Amino acid sequence: MTKSVTLKLISLQCTFTDEIDGDEVFLKYLGKKIWPRGLYSSMKAGNKDMGIELKKIPIDEPLIIEVWDYDFFSKNDLLGKFTMVLDENHGSYQTMMIPTKTDDFASYTMVWEIM
């Protein structure tokens, strides 16, 4: 039987945005938007609290969360992905986003916890 854990996504930290005037960020897991509740969260350099729980996440494969930028007049951009390797140890972790394009400016880090 596959073991699973509960994950808490604590905050999203932005060091550099993709767009000069800030990004309109939303996160997807398994093709579904998981954050924020609205269309997007406006991000500039700084932190945003997330406070979401993902339950029964299997630990036998990496958890991949996509970081998207909402665009009003063009297709939304996939800025990058968080790839989180899970185990059964409780604790806090930080994961840096792997950008979609290597020449991309955008830099995001997620703080999360295995409960």
**Footprint on this chain of Ca ion (rule: CB under 5 A):** 24, 69, 71, 77
The neighbour count for residue 14, using CB atoms within 10 Å, is 21
For residues 13 and 18, which CB has a smaller minimum distance to Ca ion in the complex? 18
- Characterize 70-107 residue by residue with b for buried, 16 or more Cβ atoms within 10 angstroms of its Cβ, and e for exposed: eeeeeeebebbbbebebeeeeeeeebebebeeeeeebb
Nearest distance from residue 48's CB to Ca ion, in Å?
A: 15
Nearer to Ca ion, 19 or 113 (CB): 19
In angstroms, what is the minimal distance from the CB of 55 to Ca ion? Answer: 30
In the complex with Ca ion, the residue whose CB is nearer, 36 or 93, is 36
**CB 74, min distance to Ca ion, A:** 7
